[in-house]
Amino acid sequence: MTKKTKLSVNAKILVAVIIVLALVVIFSGTSQTAKFSAPATTKSVLTPFAVDGWGSLGWTNCNNMAGGVAGANSFCKCKGYANVYQNGTAACFNEWRNSRWAWVSAINSSVCIAQGKATGAGYATTLIKCTNPCSDTDGGFDIKVSGACTDKSGTYWDTCAGNGTVAEQSCQSGGCATGLKPCPKGCKNGACL
């Protein structure tokens, strides 16, 4: 193989690499869909006693327990969370217990849920999924304003993620989530220009 042929092959490879990189740069800024990388933050909170339940075993609708969705929501708020997960859908965990008790509304805020009359053996709710409270200083998914999202796990600032993309923090289902969004004119200090 001659020296001229080797340079020609290397030049073709270099041109191909440059074209691929150019296409990546061109098309990386055209997507208009936000990609969320963090799930809603929830916590399964143990009830202080086995609450009288019915229906099925496992994660079930909170209407399948004494107190229902309203009781589960009030329990979560009393424990410092925003509310019950997904309005009580698949947010209460039932298991078989030899002893369980009726739900009585809390007498004071330190109790959250009061133990009522014993109801015997059967399905009982022992865990309730609660969503963390969340706040966002820029009012939500606003890529033109830099802000911070705070939930029970911490504070997360909007940042520039490189290649003219903003990593926008916003509240999603009670917790902070990161959405990646392209900035056609660039990104500076956590906001699109």
| In a domain? residue 187 | yes
What Rg do the C-alpha atoms of the chain give, in angstroms?
26
Whether residue 48 contacts residue 126, with contact meaning beta carbons closer than 8 Å, is answered with no
Whether residue 36 contacts residue 177, with contact meaning beta carbons closer than 8 Å, is answered with yes
Q: What is the pLDDT of residue 110?
A: 63
Backbone conformation region of residue 96, classed left if phi is above 0, alpha if psi is from -120 to 50, else beta: beta
Q: What is the pLDDT of residue 15?
A: 56
Tokens representing 79 are 């424990």
Q: What is the dihedral of CA 127, 49, 153, 77, to 10 degrees?
A: 90
Q: What is the pLDDT of residue 173?
A: 73
Are 55 and 116 members of one domain?
yes
Q: How many domains does the chain have?
A: 2
Are 63 and 74 members of one domain?
yes
Place of tokens 């009781």: 71
Mean pLDDT of the chain: 79
Are 127 and 152 members of one domain?
no
What are the DSSP calls for 136-190, one per residue?
A: ETTSSS-TTS--EEEETTEEEE-EEEETTEEEEEEEETTEEEEEEEE-TT-EETT
What is the extent of the structural domain holding 66? 42-131
Q: What is the pLDDT of residue 138?
A: 84
- Using CA atoms, how far residue 110 sits from 114, 136, 138, 154, in Å, is 10, 28, 33, 25
pLDDT per residue as tens, the chain (193 positions): 444 445 466 656 655 545 544 433 333 333 333 333 334 467 899 999 999 999 999 999 999 999 899 899 888 888 888 788 888 889 999 999 999 999 887 655 566 888 899 999 999 999 999 887 788 888 778 899 999 888 777 889 999 998 889 999 988 876 788 999 999 999 999 999 9
Q: Are strands 101-105 and 113-118 parallel, antiparallel or unpaired?
A: antiparallel
Q: What is the pLDDT of residue 107?
A: 55
Are 77 and 143 members of one domain?
no
Tokens representing 185 are 């004119």
pTM above 0.85, yes or no: no
Are 57 and 117 members of one domain?
yes
Distance of alpha carbon 141 from alpha carbon 134, whole angstroms: 13
| In a domain? residue 16 | no
First-to-final CA distance of the chain: 52
Place of tokens 């706040």: 135
Are 55 and 114 members of one domain?
yes
Q: What is the pLDDT of residue 109?
A: 56
